[in-house]
Structure 1
């Protein structure tokens, strides 16, 4: 069975919840399954040493996970309009995958969570697109054929699903945001199946 790698970093839990919703969408497609992976924290003062397996949640991603997936969906919280440092740190380590062309021609999607409505949802998604374009991936957004995209008063962008987490990062994921996450997972999986 083929799989879509859902790679995320989450600090307060919303991005992890979105990753699970995206995975539900992937698993609606017959013959496709979701592989949930995360990245370890990084330190601003010294090299962080993490165990090879997290204490809880999804396992840490490996470069082999990238090499063997049929598609990739990245999720990161917004950090000043950009992806979080742990996600960028991992992506910066994928040169061997890039040189080998492991991701070229495969579909990719993106999702994010931000504290404020105008806190960089779209710029974060754009920041995650750039390395995927260098890898030769085929970007999949959220089309306006998804009715929630035009109706939402919370998160949601044509670049990919987003979540409005609120100042304390404790707002629940709205039904529109949930539907957009599920739809993205299903769309990337459908395209991956067609490309096989």
Structure 2
């Protein structure tokens, strides 16, 4: 079984929905399992701590998840054209895995949700790729053979799956955004299977 780690942070639920759709795409590939994980919020108040186990939703990620995965999908809401601080905080703590080469050669993909069509979704996807490249991962996007890329009026880019949630965060994930998120998960899982097979 190939475990594909889907690691995300979601404040209002849209990125979580994308993570679940990516997971559906992963699990459409025989022999692949989606492992959904999240990160705790960070606070400027040093005394504030999150519970060891979230009250609901996906468990918090552990470094062992990186070692055990065959591929990684990384998701975050957009924060001024970049990933959210909680996800960045976790990644900043992975230097031991970088030194050990834990993620070298594994496939990776990224996804995001923004409030507006030009709210930084593409720059967020691109900047999320940088730590993955430093870890030596093989970064995948969405090819234009996916019809949704030319049909979408919401999110969806060749850099990864995305969603435009609207200024109030209430716009539902549309059919093209769903299809592209699932296609990204499927492509990631298929690539992980191919990379695991000896030539």
Alpha-carbon deviations, 1:40-76, whole Å to 9, x = none?
Answer: 0000232531121100000000000011100000000
Cα distance in 2 for residues equivalent to 1:47 and 1:11: 21
Query: Is this contact kept in 2: 1:108–1:137, CA < 8 A?
Result: yes
Cα distance in 2 for residues equivalent to 1:54 and 1:20: 17
Cα distance in 2 for residues equivalent to 1:75 and 1:25: 15
Pairwise CA distance, 1:142: 0.6
What residue number does 1:54 align with? 54
Cα distance in 2 for residues equivalent to 1:23 and 1:109: 12
Partner of 1:58, secondary structure, is: coil
Pairwise CA distance, 1:127: 1.1
4+ residue segments displaced more than 6 Å: none
What residue number does 1:93 align with? 93
Partner of 1:188, secondary structure, is: helix
Matches for 1:19-34 after TM superposition, within 5 Å: 19-34=19-34
1:97/1:76 Cα in 2 relative to 1: closer, same or farther (>3 Å)? same
After alignment, is 134-143 or 47-56 more displaced? 47-56
Cα distance in 1 for residues equivalent to 2:89 and 2:149: 31
Cα distance in 1 for residues equivalent to 2:130 and 2:38: 19
Query: Is this contact kept in 2: 1:9–1:75, CA < 8 A?
Result: yes
Aligned: 1:38 with 2:13? no
What residue number does 1:110 align with? 110
Cα distance in 1 for residues equivalent to 2:113 and 2:57: 18
Cα distance in 2 for residues equivalent to 1:37 and 1:122: 23
Structure 1 residue ranges without an equivalent (≥5): none
What residue number does 1:136 align with? 136
What residue number does 1:177 align with? 177
Alpha-carbon deviations, 1:103-156, whole Å to 9, x = none?
Answer: 000000000000011000000001110000000000000110000001101001
Cα distance in 2 for residues equivalent to 1:166 and 1:76: 16
Cα distance in 2 for residues equivalent to 1:53 and 1:17: 20
Matches for 1:118-157 after TM superposition, within 5 Å: 118-157=118-157
RMSD: 0.7
Query: Is this contact kept in 2: 1:41–1:48, CA < 8 A?
Result: no
Partner of 1:142, secondary structure, is: coil
